[in-house]
Amino acid sequence: MSKQHTTDHQDEIEDATIVDQQTFVSADAAAKSASNRTAVVAVIIAIIALLGSGYSTWMQWHQQPMLSQISSDSQAAKRSLSTVNKRLNGVEKNLAVDEKNQQQAIARYHAHIKEINQRLASNSRRLALVANTTTDDWQIAEVEYLLRLASQRLLIAKDGRTALNLLANADAVLVSLADPSWLDLRTAIAADRLAIASVNELDVDGLFLRLAAINTKIETLPLLRSRLEQAGVIAAVELPASDESMPVMASLQQLAWQTWQELKTLVVVHTSAEPV
């Protein structure tokens, strides 16, 4: 029994040893398997990194022309954008100028419209005055016109006859009004008519005709010497001066006076201040 017990104990030890050996072998195998998996993963990662780097390099090489084209297009787009901005600035300036001109034109139009409205208002007031004007107002305006015309005919044309007729017509209009308030004006008109009528009318045409006739006969008029010879004073003038020369001087003065009187009958001289 003791042997059997010993044998059983040995068997247990052997079994335990075998189990330990199997456990160690399994652990060693597991460690090797884990190490192999790590190496495989590292290799795979390295391969993937290498492939990624190669792909990136290939992509950069492949995309380099495209990137250059994109860069060129970007520069062209920037230049185009700058040109567009310049054009926009020019357009904005032109729009500002056009807006300013338009505002000025609108201001001118408003001023013109305002002026037209003022003219319309003035014409409306005039029409209202004309509509309210009575017959007496028209006759007073006619009198004013006749008086102004008479003054022009008298001062400019020196036509007293026409001025008298115009004053007479103005007085007749005042008589038709039958208004005592115009009595002072009628008095002034009557005084002017009397003053004009008291002035002899100057025949300007006849005066010029007489002067023209005298001008044509100047060469045929006798000289002063012949008039003196006819008076018999030439010999007396040539004598030495003495008391006897007094009658000769008197004769000369008388002859000069007569000549002046004859000239006065031919020419009438008026100053600008004298009435005609």
Label residue 133 by pLDDT band (50, 70, 90): low
Label residue 237 by pLDDT band (50, 70, 90): very low
Q: What is the pLDDT of residue 234?
A: 45
Q: What is the pLDDT of residue 260?
A: 65
- Rounded CA gap, 107 and 111, in Å? 6
Residues 6+ apart with CB under 8 A from 204: 158
Nearest-5° Cα angle at 59, 53 to 65: 145
Q: Does 153 or 29 have the greater pLDDT score?
A: 153
Burial class (CB in 10 A: 0-12, 13-18, 19+), 171: buried
Give pTM, 2 decimals: 0.32
67: tokens are: 């990137």
Residues 6+ apart with CB under 8 A from 160: 154, 196, 197, 199, 201, 276
pLDDT tops 70 at residue 19: no
Q: What is the pLDDT of residue 191?
A: 92
**Helices 183-197 & 160-177, crossing angle to 10 degrees?**
160
Q: Does 260 or 177 have the greater pLDDT score?
A: 177
pLDDT tops 80 at residue 258: no
Lowest mean pLDDT among 38-42, 82-86, 111-115, 130-134: 130-134
pLDDT tops 50 at residue 244: no
Mean model confidence pLDDT for the chain: 73
Would the CA dihedral through 247, 253, 257, 259 be positive or negative?
Answer: positive
Mean pLDDT in residue range 4-29? 55
Label residue 247 by pLDDT band (50, 70, 90): low
Mean pLDDT in residue range 8-16? 57
Mean pLDDT in residue range 215-236? 56
How many Cα atoms occupy the beta-carbon half-sphere of 119 within 13 Å?
6
pLDDT tops 80 at residue 177: yes
Q: What is the pLDDT of residue 23?
A: 56
pLDDT tops 70 at residue 104: yes
In angstroms, what CA-CA distances link 48 with 37, 42, 61, 155? 16, 10, 20, 128
- Rounded CA gap, 268 and 198, in Å? 18
Could you report the per-residue pLDDT of 33-80, keeping only the tens digit for each? Answer: 666 777 777 888 888 888 877 777 777 776 677 767 777 778 888 888
- B/e letters for 242-273, b = 16+ CB within 10 Å, e = fewer, are eeeeeebeebeeebeeeeeeeeeeeeeeeeee
**Helices 135-155 & 160-177, crossing angle to 10 degrees?**
160
- Rounded CA gap, 169 and 154, in Å? 15
In angstroms, what CA-CA distances link 126 with 123, 131, 137, 140, 166? 5, 8, 14, 17, 28
In angstroms, what CA-CA distances link 255 with 17, 232, 238, 264? 201, 12, 18, 14
Q: What is the pLDDT of residue 145?
A: 93
174: tokens are: 């005042």
Q: What is the pLDDT of residue 144?
A: 92
Whole-number percent of the chain with pLDDT over 90 = 9
